[in-house]
Amino acid sequence: SQTIHQWPATLVQPVGSPLSLECTVEGTSNPNLYWYRQAAGRGLQLLFYSVGIGQISSEVPQNLSASRPQDRQFILSSKKLLLSDSGFYLCAWSPGTFYEQYFGPGTRLTVT
């Protein structure tokens, strides 16, 4: 069966520091991968999606970036965090031919 991992689970970072969040998927190949952000009590905002290694599409212009160095690895990064980057970051995957997305456990990021 397929499993999706995210780490770290919780992160507290000062403003201006770099960020690296990692997501990996097991038990499938060639998945579509997604990064979402969720503000407290709010809905899901799609940040990036990827249909293959090195292929990244951005949905929202901001100081975040994403990379996909391996088929089942998706990384969210920032060179300098802003206070507004605080939130709950979710990674998701979907089979290439279906719409259903499956979410990881999330990373709670607090920028201080």
| Residues of this chain that bind another protein (CB under 8 A) | 32, 34, 41-44, 46, 49, 51, 90, 92, 94, 96, 98-106, 108
Nearer to another protein, 3 or 16 (CB): 3
Q: State the nearest-atom distance from the C-beta of 17 to another protein, in Å.
A: 23
Nearer to another protein, 13 or 46 (CB): 46
Q: State the nearest-atom distance from the C-beta of 105 to another protein, in Å.
A: 5
| CB-side neighbour CA atoms (13 Å) of 25 | 28
Tokens at 101, concatenated:
């997305």
- Whether residue 6 contacts residue 104, with contact meaning beta carbons closer than 8 Å, is answered with yes
Q: State the nearest-atom distance from the C-beta of 67 to another protein, in Å.
A: 19
Q: State the nearest-atom distance from the C-beta of 80 to another protein, in Å.
A: 27
**E strand residue ranges, the chain:** 3-7, 10-13, 19-26, 32-38, 44-52, 55-58, 64-70, 73-78, 87-94, 102-103, 107-111
Beta strand 102-103 with 87-94: parallel, antiparallel or unpaired? Answer: antiparallel
Nearer to another protein, 75 or 90 (CB): 90
Nearer to another protein, 11 or 51 (CB): 51
